[in-house]
Each structure stands twice: as structure tokens, then as C-alpha cells.
Amino acid sequence: MSDDILFPATDPHRHGMLPVDELHTIYWEECGNPDGIPVLFLHGGPGAGTSPTHRRFFHPDHYRIVLFDQRGAGKSLPLGEYRQNTTQLLISDIEQLRTMLGIDQWLVFGGSWGSTLALAYGETHPERCLGFVLRGIFMCTRKEVDWFVNGMRWFYPEIHQRFAEGVPEDERGDLLQAYVKRLFCDDPAIYTEAARNWSRYEGSCLFLEPQADAIASFESDAVSLGIGRLEAHYMLNGAFMEDDALITNIARIRHLPAVIVQGRYDVICPPVSAWRLHNAWPEAAYHVIQNAGHAAMEPGIAKALVQATEDFRLQRKFS
């Protein structure tokens, strides 16, 4: 994507490791203006972790930018750990981080699984949210999980076939369970290969036009272990929520400003989920990017996300 869409690269002025229980320690960082508008970036996956590029959706002179790697992801420890890892615990981690940083309220920004977590956090703690920037909507319903595991073959049959071939033929009738069996076993050789197969499957479908660098990144052990294990864990458990709970409870945050950005040709998180969210939350601005897939780094999506953060800081609302 064109580098001039995003704000210039910026380095953290504070970062650290926050122990959140006896098993998990999460990495966090703060960039931008310490006196600016607080904003929380929630990465996707679950398990994908943050990257320096994620800091660049926000004007560093005007935003106090907070990023963290969720349990089991990125620089958080232990990598790929799915035990003591639920949506409710992630929400608790966010609150621990907010309290530690002395932030009263913040803008919440999340894409893909990050949109799931943003909605779940907001509906639990609406009083802590200034508003929302949401991209590539995923609410971890049974239909969305089935689409990810099985339905994407209608658009990417050769990629899905390779994914299915990662397990024995007699187990392919239930790919999620077949991968869970391997991802959560105790043999590193088995779970590492399964995680790489799972993560490659997703990475190959991110962009409207496949990006070799993105696929290679998703195949790396540092990324794939978090993505493979944690995505399967959360999908298996319906994100530890009642099915469609995020729509059911949307009234808790409808009074807050929000923008929804959705790629028209997003195969990983098809537009129907964003449309359902907008119908339940008509006050939220809704932007469909016609020439884009799923990834935040699709040029049209990145431009819309930057515009959203600029609209919020200039007007404290979205247009």
C-alpha cells in the first residue's frame, strides 16, 4: 500500500510487560502525545499481535496511542497460550491496563477479531468509551465460524483444499475439531505444523490481491502459533459469549459515536456481518470500500480508517 496514507512512523515513549495473572503477562506500549486523546488499538486474530504499522492510524501530535498484545499473542507471554484465555479475561486485562495508565475514557479502535473485542469491551464498560472505529466486522457467531472454516472454499477452493489436507481425509468432515485436536496437543511438532497451516489459510485470503509478504508473515512461527491456537480456541467456544450477544446488547453503546469500515470483497469477514451491525446500530457511520478485501492495509480501508480517526479528533464525532 502507499506509505503516504498513514501517519509517519513513531516509536513508543513508554512500554512494558504487565502481569495479569499467574500465567499471562501482556506487552503494552504508548506512543504519540501523552496529553492527547486516548485511543486503544485492539489487534485481530485473536492471536495476531500488534505491529509498528498499527501506530500509524493516529495523528501522533493529537492522540495518546495505546497498543497491547492480547493474551498469547505477539510479545505477550506465553506465546500461543490458550488456557486462562477468554473474552471476559481480555476485557479485564484492558481495564487493568487502563487503570495502570490513569486513563478515564478512550476511543476504541479494532478490526476483525479486534472489532469483536471492541464491541464486547464497550458493551461491558460503555462508560469508559469515547467512541469506536471498527473494521472488517466479526462477531464470532456460529454462522461466521462455519463460514471461516468451510465457506471460504467457495471463493478460494485451492487454498481451502490445502487447509483441509492438513488433517487426515477421514477427519475432514469437521475441520475445526480436527485442527483443535492437533493445535491443543502436547507435541510441538504437531501443533506447530497445524498452526502454520491454519495461519497460512487466513493469510492467503486477507487481501483482494494476494500479498506474498503477508502470507510469509502469517506462516512464521512467531505469528502462526498465536493465530492458529487462539483463533481455533475462540471459534470452538463461540468467543465465550451467547451466540449473537454483541447484536443483542448493542443498545448499551448506541449512544456513542462509531464508524464501521468494511471491504466489499472481504471473504474472511463477509460484509453481511457489518451490515447486520449497522442495521442494529443505524447511528454508526457505515463505509463500504468497494475495491478491498479484509486487510486493514488495503489502501482504501487504510484511508477510511485514518479519515475516521481524523474526524473524531477534529469533531469528536464521525461523518
Could you list the active site residues? Answer: 112, 266, 294
Phi then psi for residue 309, to 5 deg, are -70, -35
| CA distance linking residue 138 with residue 238, whole number of Å | 12
Under DSSP, the state recorded for 303 is: H
The residues pairing with 232 across neighbouring beta strands, listed in sequence order, are none
Distance (Å, rounded) from C-alpha 25 to C-alpha 129?
A: 24
CB 51 within 8 A of CB 25: no
Closest-CA residue to 192 (of 90, 200, 142, 128):
200
Q: What is the Cα gyration radius of the chain?
A: 18
> In this structure, what C-alpha cell is assigned to residue 270?
463477509
Burial class of residue 290 in the structure, from the number of CB atoms within 10 Å of its CB (0-12 exposed, 13-18 middle, 19+ buried): exposed
Measured between alpha carbons, how far is 175 from 231 in angstroms, rounded to an integer? 13
